[in-house]
Amino acid sequence: MTDSSLRLVWVYPDLLSTYGDQGNVLVVERRARQRGLSVERVDVRSDQPVPTSGDIYLIGGGEDRPQRLAAERLLRDGGLSRAAANGAIIFSVCAGYQILGHEFVNDVGERQAGLGLLDVTTVRGEGARCVGDVLADIDPNLGLPQLTGFENHQGVTHLGPTARPFARTVFGNGNGTGDGTEGAYNDTVFGTYMHGPVMARNPQVADLMLKLALDVNALPPTDDRWYEALRAERIAAASQPA
């Protein structure tokens, strides 16, 4: 795989990078390099245009006002939408996930237009905030083991007919709809509420993004002992009664 190269784009680290979500791009970059891949990482701040030539785009979570600003700027810029139309892989977390949908409720209580890259709509939940560890079984079509993460959100995200649940919760709230769904995906666009960062807890998710970007069914093995130790520890902690 040494002849292959990847361009990773970390979108708006100045607005969307809470709870260590930048760790996702670090994990993808490291796991690509461990396979002998040449990697170019591009960090795109909110005052810069989003390039359309990336292979994998990663977007993190953020507070309410930065989320609104990010959505406005991404809509004006159009680069991320054009990248999606070109078949790029996009992985988003929490506020980033909501932005990829049709709309969400912003910091001033108004419905804010999203990018419409996922068939989801987010409203503000009326009950308790969704906070705590999550265990979830990923969609069997994605072929990954049980996921672990941490959620902290007030949003309730409803999936439309063309969006598939990324996972179904064993423990935790996920999308907050009460139906056990967690996150959503459609083709090459993914969203989840799981922080952690989720790819450090679940390196198989990073590998899935790499396989999709490279259009391969398998990757050379790597030393996953550290990742698996963290993953096992978090699964055990979340499984224990409070």
Tens-digit pLDDT profile for residues 66-80:
999 999 999 999 999
Q: How many CB atoms lie within 10 A of CB 237?
A: 10
Alpha helices in 147-202 (DSSP H): 198-201
Please give the positions annotated as active site: 94, 195
Work out the end-to-end distance of the chain between its first and last CA atoms, rounded to an integer number of angstroms.
46
- In this predicted structure, what is the pLDDT of residue 241? 57
Q: How far is residue 169's CA from residue 239's CA, in Å, rounded to a whole number?
A: 12
Rounded mean pLDDT of 193-201? 95
The structural domains of the chain, with segments of one domain joined by +, span 6-239
- Residues 105-122 pLDDT 10s: 999 999 999 999 999 999
Task: Write down the pTM of the prediction.
Answer: 0.95
- In this predicted structure, what is the pLDDT of residue 228? 87
CA distances from 234 to 93, 152, 225 (A): 19, 16, 14
Confidence bin at 166 (pLDDT 50/70/90): very high
Is 129 marked as binding a ligand? yes
- In this predicted structure, what is the pLDDT of residue 2? 44
Buried-exposed string 109-144: b where 16+ CB fall within 10 A, e elsewhere: eeebebbebbbbbbbebeeeebeebbbbbbbeeeeb
Are 194 and 182 a contacting pair, CB within 8 Å?
Answer: yes
- In this predicted structure, what is the pLDDT of residue 1? 43
Q: How far is residue 52's CA from residue 69's CA, in Å, rounded to a whole number?
A: 20
Task: Kindly state the helix (H) or strand (E) to which residue 207 belongs, with its residue range.
Answer: helix 203-214
- In this predicted structure, what is the pLDDT of residue 76? 97
Domain 6-239, CATH among 3.30.565.10, 3.40.50.880, 3.40.605.10, 2.160.20.80: 3.40.50.880
Q: How far is residue 134's CA from residue 150's CA, in Å, rounded to a whole number?
A: 6
- In this predicted structure, what is the pLDDT of residue 82? 98
Torsion of CA 81, 210, 201, 92, to 10 degrees: 0
Closest Cα to residue 64, out of 6, 13, 110? Answer: 110
- In this predicted structure, what is the pLDDT of residue 242? 55
Q: How far is residue 22's CA from residue 12's CA, in Å, rounded to a whole number?
A: 10
pLDDT at 234 exceeding the cut of 90:
no
Confidence bin at 238 (pLDDT 50/70/90): confident
Confidence bin at 5 (pLDDT 50/70/90): confident
- In this predicted structure, what is the pLDDT of residue 210? 97
Rounded mean pLDDT of 191-214? 96
